[in-house]
Amino acid sequence: MEYIHFLEDQMKIDRIKKTSIFYRDSTGMKSIHNSKGAAIEEEVLYTCVTATATAKSGERIESASARKYICGGYEHIREGEDLPLLAAQRALNMLTAHQIKKGKYTAIFDPLLTGTLIHEILGHCAEADLVLQGTSVLKDRLGTVVAPEDISVYDDPSVPLAPVTYQYDDEGVAARKKPIIQNGILSTYLHSLDTASQLCGQPGNARCEDYSFAPLVRMSNTYVSGSMIFEENEGLILRGTLGGEVEPGTGRFFIRPVIGELMKNGNVIKRFNDMIVVGDILETLQSIESVGSDFYIDSGTCEKKGQTIFIGSGGASLRISNVTIIGG
């Protein structure tokens, strides 16, 4: 309780009118046995912290959150002590944000928004059950170029202290890092034992909410990396994520950044809110110009077919051209 109050106290700064901290930890044992010979006992340990701040200036009120989920104990989450300040600063920044004019922009997606693009928009299309259903825009594209050759996207459940860390998936298959896109080429779908047997793939991405559900093909930590590095100090930067949705069959997507910042010489000269980014996933991947030198895996949850699980997403910032942004 002392730690939670300590976190909350960090948000008590000028113009922050309301604060909250959500803390949760859980421990347990996951046991998997099957007729293929798997006999696995794995300790499950989870800690989550979400800080929310509400800022007020005159009649205008804005709220923002920052969160961190890890497969690890409380002692590791102390790294999240900057979360409250991050939430408070985001809320304060939003007080000065205005509507953006609709248009096509070259924009930098920060790692959190990159995470939404990679997880929601690309990653679901790479889930083999959707491919088999015939509803993925990535169907029949294995081995083809889908992004610039310097771009790679991985799904990796072996990252320590990440939002998702496991040694074995929920079908008892050993975890390993998989390249969904490698050097611009669509290299693999994500599989369960069932989909792998149908499409000659590698299983290891079967996850379920808990013992009372059958495992489905799910992502773990999905992130992008590349070698065309830029230094981010100029241009329109889209920060944070309010989420996104995609129509897997067509590739049409809709995502919402928290805030946009127009930067010149390292200074913010204007801020924007209520932005909607729409587009086509394959066109957007091909429009990636360069990759940032930063790296961050954001924490989140994902719901699919009635099951909600934790996921990680992000990687490096991406500079993308021809991004359609609509002001609210």
Partner 1 sequence: MRVLISNDRIASIEEQYVKGTGFRVFVEGHQGFAYTTDESLKEAAELAWKLAKVSSEDRIIPTPEKYPTVDNLSDPGLENMDVETIFELASAIIEGAAEKKGHIFYGSIEVTDLYHEIVTSYGIHGNFHETLCCAGVDVEVADSFGTQTLYTRKYDSDIFEIGKRAAELASASRNPQKIHGGRMSVILRPAAVSKLFEYALVPSLLADSVDDKTSIFQGKMRERIASDITVIDNGLVKGGIGSRPFDGEGSPCKKTTVIESGFLTSFLYDTTLGAKYGIKSTGNAMRSSFRAVPTLYISNMVVEPGCKTDELIEGTKKGVIINDIMGSFSFNPSTEKFGFEGKNSFLVENGEQIGAVCDITVTGSIKEILLSIVPGDDTEQEGLFRVPSVRMVASVFV
Q: Is 139 helix (H, G, I), strand (E, B) or coil?
A: coil
Region near partner 1 per CB under 8 A, out of 82-90, 153-161, 183-191, 245-253: 245-253
Given the complex with partner 1, which of 72 and 249 has the nearer CB atom? 249
Q: How many residues bind partner 1 (CB under 8 A)?
A: 37
* Residues 165, 37, 187: CA angle, nearest 5 degrees: 50
191, 217 contact by CB (below 8 A): yes
Q: Show contacts with partner 1 in window 98-117 (CB under 8 A).
A: 99, 102
Region near partner 1 per CB under 8 A, out of 39-47, 56-64, 141-149, 167-175: 56-64
Region near partner 1 per CB under 8 A, out of 61-69, 71-79, 150-158, 312-320: 61-69
Backbone angles phi, psi at 98, to 5 degrees: -130, 175
Judged by CB under 8 A, the residue of 61, 199, 263, 302 near partner 1 is 61
Tokens of 8: 């909350």
Answer yes or no whether residue 305 interacts with partner 1 by CB under 8 A.
yes
In the block, tokens 């992130």 appear at: 223
Query: Per-residue x/- mask for partner 1, residues 203 to 222, rule CB under 8 A?
Result: ---------xxx--------
Nearest-angstrom CA–CA distance, 244 and 256: 6
Answer yes or no whether residue 306 interacts with partner 1 by CB under 8 A.
yes
Answer yes or no whether residue 242 interacts with partner 1 by CB under 8 A.
yes
Nearest to 279 by CA among 247, 307, 303, 305: 247
Nearest-angstrom CA–CA distance, 179 and 164: 17
Q: How many CA atoms lie within 13 A of 177 on its CB side?
A: 12
Contacts with partner 1, residue ranges (CB under 8 A) = 1, 18, 54, 60-63, 94, 99, 102, 129, 132-135, 212-214, 242-245, 247, 249-250, 252, 254, 256, 273-274, 276, 278, 305-306, 326-328
